[in-house]
Structures are given as C-alpha cells and as structure tokens.
Structure 1
Amino acid sequence: MVAADGSGKYRTIQEAVESIRAFMDYTVTVYIKNGTYKEKLVIPSWVKNVQLLGESAEGTVITYADHANINKMGTFRTYTVKVEGSDITFRNLTIENNAPRLGQAVALHTEGDRLRFVGCRFLGNQDTVYTGAERTRLYFSGCYIEGTTDFIFGPSTALFDFCVIHSKSNSYVTAASTPREVELGYVFRNCKLTAAPGVDKVYLGRPWRPYASTFFLNCELGGHICPAGWDNWRDVRNERTARYGEYRCSGAGARTDGRVKWAKQLSQEVDLKDAFSWL
C-alpha cells in the first residue's frame, strides 16, 4: 500500500518498487491510494510480474516536470515514469509530465516487454509517450493519451484498444520508428481521436525512421484530422518505405479522397495474432 498522506506502508511509489524482490515468478500488486506523487519513477529491469493499481485514474497522479531544455537534458531523460522491467501492468492511474511547452517532455518511457496499461491517463505536450525499445510489445486498453507533437513515438510494437487520443495543437499524433524487420509498429483499434477547440490540422503520423508502421482500424477520426492524413517528414524517400494504413474508420476525418497515395486503405484488418499472442 502506497499513500502520500502516510496512511500506507510506503509514502512513495519508488519506495514500494524498491522493496520488491528481483525476478519474481509470482505477481505482486502495489496498491496506490489517491494522491499526487511528485516522483521521477524508475521500475528497474529486474522487477517483473508486478501490477501497479491506482485507487482511481483521475485521483492517483504521478507527475514531474522535466523538459529537454533544462540543462541540455535532451528528450530521453525527461520521463516521469520509466519502465525497464517486463511483465508489468498499470491500472487506473495518471502519468503526467506537466512541464511548460518549452521542449520535449516525456510522461511515460517504456523499455520492458509485455507491458499493459489499462484505464490509465497519459498527460503532456510534446512526446508524451515514448515506446523506447525495439522488439518490445505493449498493450493500452481504455486509456486516454494527450499531447501536441509526436506524442506517441518510438520503435516498439504497441496495440491501442478503445483509447481516446487527444490532440492539443495542430501537429502530428504518431512518430513511429519501427525497425525494417519488425512487421508491426503501432496499431490503433476502436479508438477515438479528438482535439482541443481550434485544432483543425493534425496528421495521423509521420515517420521518425523510414520503415515506420502505423495502422488505424475501426477508429473514429475527428474533423481535426487533415485530408492528407499522413506526412513524409520532409523526405519523399520515406513514401517508399513507411507502412501506413487505415481500415473502416469513421468520422469527419476519415474521408479517403484526399489521402496521400502512399498510405493504404486496407481491405481487411491487420493480423495481430502473432504480435499479441501473449495477451
């Protein structure tokens, strides 16, 4: 039990995580009571089979405010929560980077494999969620993710199921860097893409690396999604390699007549069985 007010065994989440034995073959649940936890939380690589369960998604908040321009920190040290361990589940909590809009500011940074995020909120601006390790697999279910530019980015394979993806400015939702030899990068299934008032020109994605893979399946795309849908990141060569597609999407932003010709309108859903057989 973690409680910021001292009513639990631990006052900080980091203390609770550090108390867990390495490489456990049974599951430990860390129950986190409502409160604001100002922590730069790291879950080490030797921690596995752990569930972090918040009392409520809105009331259990892990927050920090680092951004890339603090002492030349750079993007990858700005995280609020960094997950190096595998087989970790987060439920019903908020992970926030509340830095001002002065540069990249990561809320969630993942490096572990088989990570689950259920009913969570991820709040930030640029670079909110960094899926930071090749050949790792992530699952987001019923989550809310917001940001400005490239706010879901990285090389991992990730499935977003029934999530709300909220754009706070005219920019780009995703910036995948999927390796060439990895079949799937980001898959959004049954998600709803929304935007703040006045936001009216958002791209579904742009390729951080040439073989970026991103698909939207049965999603509701708001009118803020621009007709072109996708951007080549100022490099026409990316149009030959990026793997972008949509399947049976709806909403004002789902019209296909203005889409870039190098993105696909799929005739069937992407096969997820191999990539997500662990779920």
Structure 2
Amino acid sequence: MNIQVYFTVIFLVASSSSWLSMVGASPGSLSTAILMRVDQSGKGDYQKIQDAIDAVPSNNTELVFIWVKPGMYREKIVVPADKPFITLSGTKATTTIITWNDTGGIFDSPTFSVLATDFVGRFLTIQNTYGAGAKAVALRVSADRAAFFECRILSHQDTLLDDTGRHFYSNCYVEGDTDFICGNAASLFEKCHLNSLSEGSGAITAQRRESPAEDTGFIFLGCKLTGLKSALLGRPWGDYSRVVFAFTYMSNAILPQGWDDWGDTSKQSTAFYGQYKCYGPGAITSKRVEWSRNLTSQEAAPFLTKNLIGGNSWIRPTPTHFKRASTSISNNVNGNT
C-alpha cells in the first residue's frame, strides 16, 4: 500500500470516532505520532503486538501509534513502565482480539498489563479465557493517565484490575462475575456497559480506597448495567471504598440491597457508595442497604465531571499526522507497505 494512502486511511479511521488521545508530560510533538503496524500475515512492521511494544525506546518521548490489524493475538502482553506515550489501536474491538488463559495472583494472571503512563487502548478485545472460579485478570492498569476507548474487557473474576493511577474508560464493555472491576485507581467510566455473569450475589466492583486521604474511586456516568441472573453493585475491598453510579441504567439483575459490606460491619461507616439519578428496574433505592447514599445534586456534583481524574489537564485530541518509525525503532519499517 502506498504510505501516503495508508496514513490517510488511518487518519480517517481515527477521525471517524470521537476518541481522545491521553498524554501527560509533553512528548516531542503533540500532533504527530510515529506509526507502527502489527499484522499477523507479515505485511506490517511486526507480527506480534509485544514485539512492537518492545521496539519502542526506553524513556520514549514521542507519541507512538501501534495499529493492529484484525486477528486473534494469543499473547500475554506488558507495556513496561519506561515506555510511555503508546497508543495501541485496532479498527473494531470484535475483530482485534488479545487473548490468554491464565490464573493465579492478580498481578501475575493478566492477559494485558499497562505499567507505563500515558497509554491509550482503542478498539480492542482483551480477554482471559481461564473461566470461572479463580482469579483471572484480563486487563491490569497500574499507571497514571491511561485511557481506553470502545474496548471489550472479558473474564470472570477480577476481570479489570484498575489498580493505581488516573484512568478514563469510554464506551467500553466489561464483563465478569466476581469483583470484576477492582483496584484503587481514580477512574471515570463514561457510557460503558457492565455485564455480570454472576448467578448469585457476585459484586461488580471491589474498590480498594484505604483512607479518606486517598483521592481515588470509581465513577460511572451514563453507563448500563446488565446481568445473567443477579449481582451486587459492589463491596469494599478497602475500608474507605468509594463508588458512585450516576445517570446509569440498571437492569433487574441488580439486587435490591445493592451493596455488601464483605462481612465487616465497620466498613459500613467508612465506605462511600452513592447513586444519583439512575433508572431502570434495578435502580430503585428504597431497599438499598441503609449505609449507601441516594445523593443530592450538591453531593453528586463533584463526581459529574472529570475533576476526580484531573482529566482537563491531560485529555487532548488525537494526533493529526503520522510518520514512519526510524530505523532506531524498527528495522522492518522499510518492508511491505
């Protein structure tokens, strides 16, 4: 393919969706990204996603856009802490699938681990196919300023380890059965679909805020909650667990009590579990546990913006230009186009 035409195609794909590239410290250019291509058929710069990530220089200072052609990528992937400013993008989540089958500790089992700041994931399915009954993380995010757009994150227990840092999830689909969004990040989920596979009282969230001094929590704005049978909104992994659902549709899969104290009544006075202007058969608050909150407009206001994640300071539009990688990044860049 002619490289000018290729850039045009990539730019049109990026521009066709209202996604934002997230970066913090200023890279070399805010409008131009280095383009790297992953194609299992051998027509790109790399055949494996991890190989492309490994080719990014340590302490990288430029935006890197790794475009992944459709396919089933059976890889256990890590974005190392010394490789910031990477965007990993498919063109459609249902056709660009990263999959692995593993269990064990929550930091050992992830199919995909993000340890670098300023990471963006777009149009990807990230899944752990181990199955029910054990910890099996699909995505671990242990870095600041990470964003995911129109991704599908699939497993059963501990699907999304939303560990540390400030994160933004937009129009994503997250599925699991037990504590399937867990961790102590400060995260905003906007227009996401959460689907519970629980057949009993599995919790959707297990937020781990451990002191009132921590400015962390999970905020769900304009989301959709569905389930196979029945589920709780959350339970407190940390004593000061904080979760707020606002303007969110809740199906009848959500149990009337809504929340659980994880067998520790002392957490009832420290956890902050709120609901604001949610709707649907599972959103009725009259039978919620008495220690959860039906927020007033004033109480909800701090959670209805990107302030919790400081988003206004690090959310920025996608680059508008792309350039080929130098030979110092890719020895294959002069291959097939």
Per the normalisation by structure 1, the TM-score is 0.94
Structure 2 CA distance, aligned partners of 1:49 and 1:20?
10
Structure 2 CA distance, aligned partners of 1:138 and 1:4?
30
Question: Quick one: which of 108, 115, 123 aligns to 2:146?
Answer: 115
Aligned residues: 269
Root-mean-square deviation over aligned CA pairs: 1.1
Structure 2 CA distance, aligned partners of 1:275 and 1:101?
32
Structure 1 CA distance, aligned partners of 2:309 and 2:50?
31
CA contact (8 A) 1:67 1:102 kept: no
CA contact (8 A) 1:80 1:108 kept: yes
One-letter amino acid of the counterpart of residue 91, structure 1 = R
Structure 2 CA distance, aligned partners of 1:182 and 1:223?
33
Question: Quick one: which of 175, 186, 191 aligns to 2:223?
Answer: 191
Question: Quick one: which of 104, 115, 118 aligns to 1:87?
Answer: 118
Structure 2 CA distance, aligned partners of 1:76 and 1:25?
27
Residue 50 of structure 2 aligns to a residue whose secondary structure is helix
1:57 aligns with 93
Structure 1 CA distance, aligned partners of 2:289 and 2:280?
18
Structure 2 CA distance, aligned partners of 1:22 and 1:79?
22
Structure 2 portions without partners, runs of 5+: 1-36, 316-337
One-letter amino acid of the counterpart of residue 217, structure 1 = A
Query: 1:35 deviation in Å?
Result: 0.5
1:164 aligns with 193
Q: Counterparts in 2 of 1:1-279, with a 5 A limit?
A: 1-68=37-104, 74-133=105-164, 136-169=165-198, 170=200, 171-180=202-211, 181-196=213-228, 199=229, 201-268=230-297, 269-271=300-302, 272=305, 273-276=307-310, 277=312, 278-279=314-315
Query: 1:274 deviation in Å?
Result: 4.9
Structure with larger Rg? 2
Query: 1:252 deviation in Å?
Result: 0.3
2:6 aligns with none
CA contact (8 A) 2:52 2:66 kept: yes
Query: 1:76 deviation in Å?
Result: 2.1
Structure 2 CA distance, aligned partners of 1:159 and 1:185?
8
Structure 2 CA distance, aligned partners of 1:85 and 1:106?
18
CA contact (8 A) 1:29 1:52 kept: yes
Structure 2 CA distance, aligned partners of 1:132 and 1:254?
27
Structure 2 CA distance, aligned partners of 1:84 and 1:243?
28
One-letter amino acid of the counterpart of residue 92, structure 1 = F
Deviations 1:165-198 (A, max 9, x none): 00011311000001311234000000000112xx
Residue 268 of structure 2 aligns to a residue whose secondary structure is helix
Pair 274,245 (structure 1): closer, same or farther in 2 beyond 3 Å: closer
Query: Which is richer in helix?
Result: 2
Deviations 1:113-150 (A, max 9, x none): 000000100011111000122xx101000000000000
Deviations 1:50-83 (A, max 9, x none): 1111121100000000012xxxxx2320000000
One-letter amino acid of the counterpart of residue 6, structure 1 = G
Deviations 1:26-71 (A, max 9, x none): 2110000000111110000011111111121100000000012xxx
1:71 aligns with none
One-letter amino acid of the counterpart of residue 154, structure 1 = G
Structure 1 portions without partners, runs of 5+: 69-73
CA contact (8 A) 1:66 1:105 kept: yes
CA contact (8 A) 2:218 2:244 kept: yes
| Bigger mean CA offset, 264-273 vs 91-100 | 264-273
